[in-house]
Amino acid sequence: MTRPADPALRRVVAFVAALNLGYFGIEFSMALAIGSVALFADSIDFLEDASINLLILVGLSWSLAARARLGMLLAGVLLVPGLATLWTAAEKVLAAEVTVPDPWLLALTGGGAMVVNFICALMLARHRATGGSLARAAFLSARNDVIANIAIIGAAFATAATMSPWPDLVVGLGIAAMYADGAREVLEAARQESRDARA
């Protein structure tokens, strides 16, 4: 059984997908330019969020059981940026290519990302309790990203004070751990939808 998708939620999800895709290009370019693991992790997350929101846009009018299955898939997708970050950090450390990113460009790019993610989280907040696991996945992604961006700005100030690559690396790894927790929450919501669909 399907239910009509909330038109307001559809508009919000489409706008959030476009914002995420746009800022991915900016942040990914800056991550490569200054060699930042934290910005790399966050930029991959922007691309992932754009993909998640496009999938959600497609799945909003599906049956409860189908949305639950998609929610479980999205929980797995949420782990991808964390794994990519771990891989990038390990490569840099093992290859002795740990560089100190420019702290001011790091702070500026992280600040821009925080503004974008805050707007997305604010728009999705009112739908997180009524849109099922899909809306919850989108909201949790945006909320976690705001927290990650605050940590990136903190890493920028720590880098400026110490000129060490470790604040950037530590924040990048912390972002990876946060993705894993977000995936767990989405999986729990999807399982609950699956139980509701069978009831």
Mean of all residue pLDDT scores within the chain: 81
Look at residue 176 and tell me whether its pLDDT is greater than 90: no
At residue 130, the pLDDT reads 65
Structure tokens at 13: 């999800």
- Say if CB 159 and CB 103 are below 8 A apart: yes
Which whole-number Å values give the CA distances from 80 to 11, 53, 142, 181, in the listed order?
A: 26, 15, 16, 13
User: Residue 63, SS3?
Assistant: strand
For 161-180, b/e burial (b = at least 16 CB within 10 A) is eeeebebbbbbbbbbbebbe
How many residues belong to the chain? 199
Helix (H) or strand (E) holding 139: helix 132-162
At residue 170, the pLDDT reads 85
What does the pLDDT average to over 136-150? Answer: 83
The reported pTM is 0.76
Per-residue pLDDT tens for 90-115? 776 666 566 788 999 999 999 999 99
